Structure 1
Amino acid sequence: MSGHPDPVVRCTALLRDAVLRGDEYTAVDVVVDALHDGIDAETVLLEVIGVVQASVGEDWAANRISVAQEHAATAINDRVIGTLALSTPRSPGGRGRITVACVDGEWHALPARLLAEVLRLRGFDVDYLGAQVPSAHLITHLHRTGPDAVALSSSIATRLPTAHATISACQAAGVPVIVGGAAFGPDGRYARLLAADAWAPDARAAAETLAGGLPVPARPHAQPTDDLPHLSDQEFTLVDRNAPGLVAAVVEGLSGRIPEMAHYDDAQLLRTAEDVRHIVDFLAVALYTGDPELFTGFLDWTASVLSARSVPPHVLPPVLDLLGEELRDFPRASDLLAVAAAARDGDPHGAGRPA
């Protein structure tokens, strides 16, 4: 076995160690040294910084690090990207102008930041707008700057309805939209469902697609039901608007079914309400897309996260039951909850409790 590890693997290990220790200065040194050692900037962005950031998220889900550590690591990685950008010669540009933004309500900005820097390295002129960009302000920016395309990023599936409205608004302004991020599915299924002009699984694929150019949208439209006729039943709208009331009803009902809730302190009750809200939000987005897998997949992910935290697995079924009682007059919601309950009944490990 060689005593000289792959330099990219070595840099990744060093950066991961630095960000998990909260050592920003060492993290910056690792990246600068990697550039000096001949690793190209795009590789450092995607195969070092990007890989480390993905591992940080996995560590949080597995309960190996806290939320605070995850946030600190992300902040350091963001500043490291800034250092890399300042340490790399500027591209002459001229390959087109791209606006890169996150969907309104989407705080996970690092994937979009990585894309923006890759595009700059490849000669695009880039307007990077960052996290949580309100659609109205994004459209104003498009009218002012006239980009060739918008690259829209979202990691959380509950932002898909907002993403849909933003895609439609950009297209109505005559600007094509390429989307990416975990929210759109590993195969881009939700990008197609929401009529985006293009989808890319990663930054390199996005850059290659944009290099080929995107045509001006042929069918600007403004109504979600143009793409999703099932929304005419209003179930998504009613569940989404009534989410606070649904959460309150479920939490109140749980107190009568789960004896230990009588001993919950205020913080535990707040966490319970927050987690029930997540369940309601994912139910709503499954109603929006018409895809039950969005809801059942979220419950499976929740089960794995709670299992890593040694949380008892006996509360989620009552949550689904209580939601079913509240939504018994909603046929699609009732069907979704029945599918989810059946999946949980077939899971020998249960799904954990949302608290």
Structure 2
Amino acid sequence: MNATGITDAVRADFDTCLADADEGGALELAVGLVTSGVSAEDVLLGLVAPAQVRVGERWECGEWTVAQEHAATHVSRLTVDAVASAAPVGGGSPRHVLVACSDGEWHVLPSHILAEVMRLRGFQVRSLGGSVSPHELLSDVHQNGPDVVALSCTLTFNLPLAQRQIETCQCAGIPVMAGGPGFGPEGTWAYALGADLYAADARDAAEALLHRWPPVLCGESSVQAGAVEEYAALVRRRPELLADLIHVLRDVFPGLRERPGGSGLSDVPYPSDIPSPSGVPGPSGREHEDGTDFLGRLLDSLAAAVFVDDARVFTGQLAFASAYFSARSVEPRCLLAMTDALADRLRGSPRTLDTLSAGHRCLATREADSRRPG
């Protein structure tokens, strides 16, 4: 038995419940831990959250279908609710936290766990769920007057949209705590967007707010005007660039024409609630997207990388896409052809070209590594 009371055998049993979509078994196991004396916070962060990461890994490597992922995620959500209901909640705190996902972000489970951990710590919590627009966020801030907004982002291509939410809150005088792998290693991109605080996980978020209350407005965006200009140009040209990519793929890889949907990536399912392992940008959170949408996400990642002036946003998405394709016997060379085609069409955009060059190097290195013996 480890410090939290959650053994490897317990984790394996919970993983089996998720694999079998066994709601009853999962709830009995998790709630049983709480009633036996394991803290609800430890169950949420030491059992449920890591299990969901493993769900994502199984989907990414092709072991699970998107339907299996959806079923497992549904069980995880039910488990979070059951564990929170079984535990005593701290009370009496005047600290009011508003929890929301960034605009375009449908990975709700991380914010769900955050909200429950905050409640267990005695905070007053209001949760708005997935993909909250700046207008919706501002309306709720004005109506309910939180002391701080906790903003969750899993996917890096949502960073430009997240900045709008951060700016909206700060204009209303409300500080923002950012969290999630979408904000980069150690919150690099959260601070670049002007967030006031960053927390790596729900426990860190609660500790930070308990020890640094009240939170204050101190963030400042470092996004440059030139980056915003190139980002806006990429957004305007997105339909044109997407059409170009599809034609390039058909010309370079004629065999892709025979696959349903035209692009050769016609049935790329994205899971609904996977915190991407190791912070690598992962699936979009939508129930089902076709290959055109998949290519669009790559364009969105390119635009977001230009916006925050950090090629890692784009290279991370390329690395994920390459691994995803390899696991499904799709030739990852199509990503290299795509990157080169974009560079040819975007010669007048220096930041974008630098980002695409980094993407080319990343893919070339991965291909070379894959060909090495052993």
Under a length normalisation based on structure 2, what TM-score does the superposition of the two structures give?
0.86
| Counterpart mapping for 1:177-196 below 5 A | 177-196=176-195
* Aligned-pair Cα RMSD in Å: 2.1
Structure 1 residue 60 displacement after superposition:
1.1
Contact 2:152 2:179 in 1 (8 A): yes
Structure 1 residue 269 displacement after superposition:
5.8
Q: Which residue of 1 aligns with 2:216?
A: 216
Contact 2:99 2:149 in 1 (8 A): yes
Q: Which residue of 2 aligns with 1:250?
A: 245
2:295 matched to 1:279? no
Q: Which residue of 2 aligns with 1:155?
A: 154
Structure 1 residue 234 displacement after superposition:
1.4
Contact 1:150 1:178 in 2 (8 A): yes
2:308 matched to 1:289? yes
| 3-state SS, counterpart of residue 129 of structure 2 | strand
Distance of 2:324 and 2:193 partners within structure 1: 29
Distance of 2:96 and 2:182 partners within structure 1: 25
2:126 matched to 1:127? yes
| Counterpart mapping for 1:269-348 below 5 A | 270=266, 271-348=290-367
Out of 252, 261, 266, the position equivalent to 1:266 is 261
The residue type paired with residue 70 of structure 1 is E
The residue type paired with residue 222 of structure 2 is D
Structure 1 residue 101 displacement after superposition:
0.7
Structure 1 residue 227 displacement after superposition:
2.8
| 3-state SS, counterpart of residue 51 of structure 1 | helix
- The structure with the largest alpha-carbon Rg is 1
Contact 1:11 1:34 in 2 (8 A): no
The residue type paired with residue 216 of structure 1 is V
1:163-217 CA deviation, whole Å, 9 max, x = no partner?
Answer: 1110111011111110000101121101111110000111111001111214432
Q: Which residue of 1 aligns with 2:68?
A: 69
Distance of 1:106 and 1:283 partners within structure 2: 17
2:143 matched to 1:144? yes
| Counterpart mapping for 1:32-181 below 5 A | 32-181=31-180
Distance of 2:24 and 2:209 partners within structure 1: 35
The residue type paired with residue 276 of structure 1 is L
Contact 1:97 1:126 in 2 (8 A): yes
Distance of 1:117 and 1:9 partners within structure 2: 24
Structure 1 residue 154 displacement after superposition:
0.6
Structure 1 residue 350 displacement after superposition:
7.9
User: Against the structure 1 CA distance between its residues 194 and 315, is the aligned structure 2 distance closer, same or farther, given a 3 Å change threshold?
Assistant: same
Distance of 1:96 and 1:52 partners within structure 2: 30
2:38 matched to 1:19? no
Structure 1 residue 309 displacement after superposition:
1.9
Q: Aligned pairs, how many?
A: 343
Structure 1 residue 120 displacement after superposition:
0.6
Distance of 2:55 and 2:333 partners within structure 1: 29
Query: Which runs of 5 or more structure 1 residues have no equivalent in the other structure?
Result: none
The residue type paired with residue 262 of structure 1 is R
Distance of 1:342 and 1:41 partners within structure 2: 45
1:84-109 CA deviation, whole Å, 9 max, x = no partner?
Answer: 22222232231501001111111001
1:291-314 CA deviation, whole Å, 9 max, x = no partner?
Answer: 011111221222122222222233
Distance of 2:239 and 2:51 partners within structure 1: 36
Structure 1 residue 67 displacement after superposition:
1.2
| 3-state SS, counterpart of residue 366 of structure 2 | coil
Contact 1:31 1:80 in 2 (8 A): yes
Under a length normalisation based on structure 1, what TM-score does the superposition of the two structures give?
0.90
Distance of 1:350 and 1:264 partners within structure 2: 28
Structure 1 residue 239 displacement after superposition:
0.5
1:249-308 CA deviation, whole Å, 9 max, x = no partner?
Answer: 121132222221332322646444233212211110111010011111221222122222
The residue type paired with residue 217 of structure 1 is L
| 3-state SS, counterpart of residue 80 of structure 2 | helix
User: Relative contact order (C-alpha < 8 Å, sep 6+): which is higher?
Assistant: 2
| 3-state SS, counterpart of residue 39 of structure 1 | coil
The residue type paired with residue 9 of structure 1 is D
- Greater mean deviation of Cα atoms: 100-109 or 270-279: 270-279
The residue type paired with residue 187 of structure 1 is E
Contact 2:305 2:311 in 1 (8 A): yes
Query: Which runs of 5 or more structure 2 residues have no equivalent in the other structure?
Result: 267-289
User: Against the structure 1 CA distance between its residues 238 and 350, is the aligned structure 2 distance closer, same or farther, given a 3 Å change threshold?
Assistant: farther
